[in-house]
Chain A
Amino acid sequence: MLHDVNRLLNRVPFVDDAVHWREEDYWATPAESIGSNGADCEDFSIAKYFLLKELGVPIARLRLTYVKSLRLNQAHMVLAYYARPDAEPLVLDNLEDTVRPASQRKDLVPVYSFNDEEVWVELRGRAGSPQQLRNWRALTQRLDWERRT
């Protein structure tokens, strides 16, 4: 299933945000990416994340991961899949159609990871507040809007 999702979404052509959305860094929803037929690394990872989430994969196993691509020598984002918390993750990357374990991706240096569960702030004495990553917040708002329409 991971392979299919990876390969399926990797068919969307890579377009840089600055060209595609005329913004430095725009996190598109899956519908935006597929609909506009263009995405960059975050958009691929996000689309894969939500597709897997829709397909029933527990969120705790998925991590959107900031990595450095040694090959491209630039910041990059991939989706990591952990079968168990202590397991070696599988990496879903738009640069490669094949899903491989992290140990086989020496070209990637992981730096920081997050998912839906983690990006939150709890307020004592009050209901939890929305996510605090600006891009992620904007993204989830658009997703909500898309769901409603």
Chain B
Amino acid sequence: MTVGRLLAAAISALFLFALVGVEAIILRSAQSHLQQQLESLAQDAATSLGLSLGVLLRGGDPALAETVINPAFDRGHYERIEYLAAGGERIVSRHLPAREGNYPAWFARAFRLHPPTAESFVSAGWQQAGRVRVTVHPRFAYEQLWGTARDTVILLVLIYAAALLVLQLVLRSVLRPLRAVERAAQAISARRFVTLRLRPRTRELARVVEAMNSLSLRVSEALDAEARRGERLQAAAYQDPVSGLPNTLGFTARFETRYEGEDEAFSGVLALVDLADLGGINREIGGERCDALVRTLLHEMDGAAVQAGGSAARWGGAVTLLALPQLRAGAAREALAALRARIQAMLVEAGLPGHARVYCGGAEAGGERPSLQALVRRAQDALRKAGDTPDGVVVLEAEVVADAAPDHRPRVVREALAERRLRLVGQSAYRMSDHRALHTEVLARLDDGAGQEMAAARFLPFIVSQGLAEELDRAVIGKVLREAPRGGERISVNVSARSMELPAFVAWLGQQLARDRALAARLAFEIPEHGVVRNVAAAADFAQAVSRAGAAFAIDHFGVHRDCLSLLQRLHPGYVKFAGAKVRRVITDAGAHYFAESLVRTARQLDIPVFAHHVEDEATFQAIASIGFSGYQGNLGGGPVPWPNG
């Protein structure tokens, strides 16, 4: 019940009491006044009739007596007028039969008036000439009383209506700040920190607004501090302090997140660059200058990697790792040779020609799923060999390129998509506490036409390289919307970073969702974190469009990038899924454990559930349960099964 209704009800009740009370008082007083009037009317009529009869009736003429009585009687106020002789016999008697008055019978019963009878002597000179007796008719009095009752009720009801109206107006102006406060409270509980600008005139409300603003400020400051601490931890654990590039842990996490599971596989060359005489340089120019030099050299290397669509990381000591995903072995060899020459030139320029020993070793990725460890091991082999070669660069070609006919895989994928040979599988995410299924993540498979099902890792690289990501997303989403069972489970669907950035796709998605709002309310769309980080503005637009349609926005493979925690507050996703690579590390790595705790704490303050990806065994489950994750997904709960099932 709103305050307005409560007050209106209270005032109505009070008014009803007042109305009944006032009405009773008015009617009782009118009733007693009318009773007195009736009595005095009876007495006056008797007296004046007695007088006039006495003056006129010297001879005792009954006809004359009746003539005298008639004008008074015909006024209608009297029920009975009688003239009795001295001996008591009736000489004249006029009687008005009781007639219905213009008032209800119940009213006359409730406010009874007693019709009075009055007597007066009649004297003809000194002679007694009998008496006159007058009984008043109460009808007019009742009519008057009834009229008074009606008028006062109407007046009181009008006053009541006016009071209600005034109350509504007053309440509206008094409650306006209260509504703003309510909205602000809702915003704060949704972790949107607003500041109320209005200054209510009522002191209590002004204090509430003040308290609200200070609460909003403090909570948002606390959250910011938590996010900053988490980011510092993330940076310390995953970053090389000298160059600012990722360290081994940081690179490994990013690599595994990007290329693990259902997503694209790494292709290209992984290279190691060794500044073989870093120890000598350090001794010669001192730690501080050496660090500055290393910073410059590493950024040069990072630039080369970025040119090849990849990134660099400090692999420990003098070795730097370069991921060159767009290059095959030959191109990589040329790029590395050029890079080596530049670096040597920079060392010479820095006055260190004696220490300009630089070697590069690379390994080309081949086969279905190259593991990072295997690639690094082969790159290390190449690096060792490079030390023995005159040009100092060795790139090992992929061992198994002869995987049937890699050339027509792109065509197979293209055709499968064009013919919509699409199959869906679902993997559920479960709540930590009771293992209840919270939602099902729907994953796509393509039929290669020969009855073989292709997992995402096999077709996604071609989808991305041929620019088919949007088409695949539309196909998957369309199929999900058509085939989703009525009611029941919540469903999550992956959307590629590429599609998320396309306004046409976002608009299309909004239209699709608008057709079935009940279904839309059960849907969540997951965007990988690297896509969100790459274009936060587009992600914000996408999140807004999706939530306007009633669906949820979520971030997948979360917790890899340095400033991922700030995304929580900026985009406020419905949930995030902690990247599988980092989940595995939580058991072994204290830093990862600490970061996961920080993430869960920050997310909990923002009411964002955190799920763990790739929970494969009981030990991992126990570890993430102790950290306070909301739910988990992985082989422990069950792998993908055909969807929709049943």
Q: State the A residues within 8 Å of B (CB).
A: 63, 65, 80, 82, 85-86, 88-89, 102-103, 110-115, 118, 120-126, 129, 132-133
Assembled-state Cα–Cα distance A110/B129 (Å): 13
Residues of B close to A85: CB separation below 8 A: 86-87, 128
In the bound complex, do residue A110 and residue B114 qualify as a contact, i.e. CB atoms below 8 Å apart?
no
Residues of B close to A122: CB separation below 8 A: 116-118
Chain B residue nearest to A85 in the complex (CB): B86
Q: List the one stretch of B37-45, B462-470, B498-506, B632-640 in contact with chain A.
A: B37-45
In the bound complex, do residue B54 and residue A112 qualify as a contact, i.e. CB atoms below 8 Å apart?
yes
B116: which of A102, A112, A123, A133 is its contact (CB, 8 Å)?
A123
In the bound complex, do residue B126 and residue A121 qualify as a contact, i.e. CB atoms below 8 Å apart?
no
Q: 21 interchain pairs (CB within 8 A)? A: A63-B128, A86-B127, A89-B126, A103-B126, A111-B51, A112-B123, A114-B120, A118-B121, A120-B118, A120-B119, A121-B39, A121-B116, A122-B118, A123-B39, A123-B115, A124-B115, A124-B116, A124-B117, A125-B114, A132-B40, A132-B43
Q: Nearest Cβ in chain A — how far from B85, in angstroms?
A: 9
Chain B residue nearest to A127 in the complex (CB): B114
| B 95-153 contacts with A by CB, 8 A | 112, 114-121, 123, 125-128, 131, 135
Q: Nearest Cβ in chain A — how far from B149, in angstroms?
A: 21
Assembled-state Cα–Cα distance A140/B128 (Å): 25
Residues of A close to B125: CB separation below 8 A: 102, 110
Chain A residue nearest to B125 in the complex (CB): A110
Assembled-state Cα–Cα distance A88/B119 (Å): 22
Chain B residue nearest to A63 in the complex (CB): B121
In the bound complex, do residue B128 and residue A121 qualify as a contact, i.e. CB atoms below 8 Å apart?
no
Range for the number of chain B residues in contact with chain A: 20 to 34
Residues of B close to A123: CB separation below 8 A: 39, 114-117
Known: A86-B86, A124-B117. 7 other contacts (CB 8 A): A63-B123, A65-B123, A85-B86, A89-B126, A102-B125, A113-B123, A120-B118
Of B42, B50, B123, most buried by chain A (CB within 10 Å of CB) is B123
Q: Nearest Cβ in chain A — how far from B116, in angstroms?
A: 5
Residues of A close to B121: CB separation below 8 A: 63, 112-115, 118
Q: Nearest Cβ in chain B — how far from A115, in angstroms?
A: 8
Assembled-state Cα–Cα distance A123/B114 (Å): 6
A-contact 0/1 string along B81-101, CB 8 Å cutoff: 000001100000000000000
Assembled-state Cα–Cα distance A124/B117 (Å): 8
In the bound complex, do residue A129 and residue B116 qualify as a contact, i.e. CB atoms below 8 Å apart?
yes
A-contact 0/1 string along B54-76, CB 8 Å cutoff: 10000000000000000000000
Q: Nearest Cβ in chain A — how far from B629, in angstroms?
A: 89
Assembled-state Cα–Cα distance A48/B562 (Å): 125
Q: Nearest Cβ in chain A — how far from B175, in angstroms?
A: 56
Residues of A close to B51: CB separation below 8 A: 111-112
Chain A residue nearest to B40 in the complex (CB): A132
In the bound complex, do residue B123 and residue A121 qualify as a contact, i.e. CB atoms below 8 Å apart?
no
Residues of A close to B117: CB separation below 8 A: 121-124
Residues of A close to B120: CB separation below 8 A: 114, 118
Residues of B close to A115: CB separation below 8 A: 121
Assembled-state Cα–Cα distance A118/B39 (Å): 14
Residues of A close to B115: CB separation below 8 A: 123-124
Residues of B close to A112: CB separation below 8 A: 47, 50-51, 54, 121, 123
Residues of B close to A63: CB separation below 8 A: 121, 123, 128
Q: Nearest Cβ in chain B — how far from A91, in angstroms?
A: 8
Assembled-state Cα–Cα distance A11/B467 (Å): 142
Residues of B close to A133: CB separation below 8 A: 43
In the bound complex, do residue A126 and residue B114 qualify as a contact, i.e. CB atoms below 8 Å apart?
yes
Assembled-state Cα–Cα distance A111/B120 (Å): 13
